[in-house]
A and B are shown apart, each in its own frame.
Chain A
Amino acid sequence: DAGVTQSPTHLIKTRGQQVTLRCSPKSGHDTVSWYQQALGQGPQFIFQYYEEEERQRGNFPDRFSGHQFPNYSSELNVNALLLGDSALYLCASSALAGGPAEQYFGPGTRLTVT
């Protein structure tokens, strides 16, 4: 079992550009959540996808969007990048099973915006 995988590992972008991050969930999981973690802070919830739809969203602007594919993998897109978007982006997968379940995290994508 490969666990949760994310790509790329690191990314450097310029202000105003757009970025796409990718996540493959753990085998048997149907739900993907995305989190942003700034240096020295706990992760902040961006959104969660289930059955190819955004199920819940945190306090992030519309510049942050996502998608879930039929194979349960997911993408996080960020438009019009700002310096403040520099962070570790974490993907977590879970088996929804009707309620909050244990979440398994990938290694993250380190995004640097210059």
Chain B
Amino acid sequence: KQEVTQIPAALSVPEGENLVLNCSFTDSAIYNLQWFRQDPGKGLTSLLLIQSSQREQTSGRLNASLDKSSGRSTLYIAASQPGDSATYLCAVGGGSNYQLIWGAGTKLIIKP
């Protein structure tokens, strides 16, 4: 059974710092991995999608990497801004299993 873990559960850093959020999964037989952002009380915004054959994806100040063999993905945020404050969730899509399996998220606070 696939399990997804995100560490840390919460993170507070000063504005301008580069930071890394971690996501680990127990079953390496994944189809893809998505990183999402969720603002308080709101829905989910897709940030990056990494297919199982890819090692990383980049969008602006965001870079996500995937290492299937070790069951890990990282989301790197460069030059953090207060507007980056949100909860970040990773979700794994498995082979013939069409559902996404989710981590509990990392709550990120960027202090001005």
The chain A residues found within 8 Å of chain B, CB to CB, are 6, 31, 33, 35, 40-45, 48, 55-56, 58, 88, 90, 92, 96, 99-100, 102-108, 110
Contacts and interface: CB of A to CB of B under 8 A. Distances in A.
A90 B100 CA distance: 13
Contacts of A55: 98
Chain B interface secondary structure, helix, strand, loop or mixed? strand
A12 to B, nearest CB: 15
Contacts of B43: 6, 88, 90, 105-108
A55 B49 CA distance: 23
B97 interface: yes
Contacts of B93: 100
A105 B99 contact: no
Interface residues of B, number: 26
Contacts of B95: 100
A73 B42 CA distance: 21
Interface stretch (B12-20, B76-84, B102-110): B102-110
Contact of B41 (A40, A58, A102, A110): A110
A105 B46 contact: yes
B99 A102 contact: no
Contacts of B41: 88, 110
B99 A56 contact: yes
B46 A100 contact: no
Given A43-B100, A106-B43, A107-B42, 9 more contacts: A42-B91, A43-B102, A48-B99, A58-B99, A100-B95, A100-B98, A102-B49, A105-B44, A107-B43
Nearest to A10: B41
A102 B102 contact: no
Residue with the highest number of chain A CB atoms closer than 10 Å, among B34, B43, B103: B43
9 contacts: A33-B99, A56-B98, A88-B41, A90-B43, A100-B31, A100-B95, A102-B34, A105-B44, A105-B45
A41 B98 contact: no
A90 B89 CA distance: 14
B94 interface: yes
B32 interface: yes
